[in-house]
Amino acid sequence: MKRKNKEILWGYLFISPFLIGFIIFLLGPMMFSFIGSFTDYNLTSKMSFIGLENFKKIAFKDDLFFLSLKNTIFYVVLGVPLTIAASLFFSILLNRQIKGISIYRTIFYLPAILSGVAVYVLWMQLLSPSSGLINTLLALVGIKGPAWLQDPNWTKPSLLIMKVWSSGGSMLLYLATLQNVPKTLYESAALDGAGALRRFQSITLPLITPIIFYDLVTSTIGSFQIFQEAYVMTDNGSGGPGNSLLFYNLHMWNKAFVEFDMGYAMAMSMLLFVLVILLTLVNLKLSKKWVFYAGG
């Protein structure tokens, strides 16, 4: 019994760095936000309990809340399928044994490791309506390019293009999964007369559904957290023309650190947490109908 207790103690000792970090940097702030969502708090005064007033204000007095939620859902609904499709398409192209394939894979993966303000500034230059490279190339073929980040109708498509461009991380996951699909299955299908499309539908797609599901869940969560792109590319959080890039997290940031209404911002964070949890549970429920696990 002593030996077992000693092993348990050593186990907790080894995982203690994670537990300490989890409590201090994740669980603690979550509990603070939950409590703060029911208070009036502006960083300079003590918290005063106001019950559900912040949530009532969200529902009935803040028109920008629903606009930011609408912008975010639009970005998620279009961005997640696009990046999954692009990642899968590029992984299939790169899953070939040709000369120099490692170079091509590196080129496609490179945007995934580039991040931060420098990338957003680069894309602002590329999307410049007057001197940007993209509009310059379109002009060469006789197409007048849009105003991109200066046109409310093109601001979100601009970010979607940038999101697809940086889909190399997911592409690498799909590539690794494709290389684990047994070659014998393709050979047997080819002997039975199955073409490339049929082999993809009947063999490739079912066997990679677990990684598609993983990408779907993580991309959905990540897309709901979009903030940096909109903050940097809309003049420090202005929301862009017509508030077309006022995403949920950007609106929450403005409430917290521009208006210093921290209680209201924490209420928004709790609603986002609940929304993401519900969507994840729905995805888990639906996954039983289309995700195939080998041997399951």
Sign of the torsion formed by the C-alpha atoms of 218, 227, 229 and 25: negative
- Token pair, residue 85, equals 């499709």
Per this entry, what is the length of the chain? 296
* pLDDT on residue 156: 95
Helices (H), the chain: 2-22, 28-36, 53-60, 63-94, 101-113, 117-126, 133-140, 155-165, 168-178, 183-191, 196-199, 205-207, 209-224, 228-233, 248-257, 262-290
Q: Are 141 and 147 in contact (CB under 8 A)?
A: no
- 272: amino acid identity, one letter: L
Shortest CA distance to 54 belongs to which of 257, 213, 269?
269
Pairwise CA distance, residues 122 & 65, whole Å:
30
Pairwise CA distance, residues 289 & 160, whole Å:
29
Question: Tokens 């007095």 appear where?
Answer: 61
* pLDDT on residue 234: 86
- 63: amino acid identity, one letter: D
Phi/psi for 39 (5° steps) reads: -130, 165
The C-alpha R_g of the chain, in whole angstroms, comes to: 24
pTM listed for this prediction: 0.91
- Token pair, residue 280, equals 């994840």
Pairwise CA distance, residues 116 & 232, whole Å:
10
Pairwise CA distance, residues 255 & 251, whole Å:
6
Pairwise CA distance, residues 121 & 189, whole Å:
49
- Token pair, residue 150, equals 């200066």
Pairwise CA distance, residues 17 & 206, whole Å:
39
Print pLDDT tens along the chain (296 aa). 577 788 888 889 999 999 999 999 999 999 999 999 999 998 887 899 999 999 999 999 999 999 999 999 999 999 999 999 999 999 999 998 888 899 999 999 998 888 788 899 999 999 999 889 999 999 999 999 999 999 999 999 999 999 999 999 999 999 999 998 888 888 888 888 888 889 899 899 999 999 999 999 999 999 999 999 999 998 778 899 999 999 999 999 999 999 999 999 999 999 999 999 999 999 999 999 999 887 65
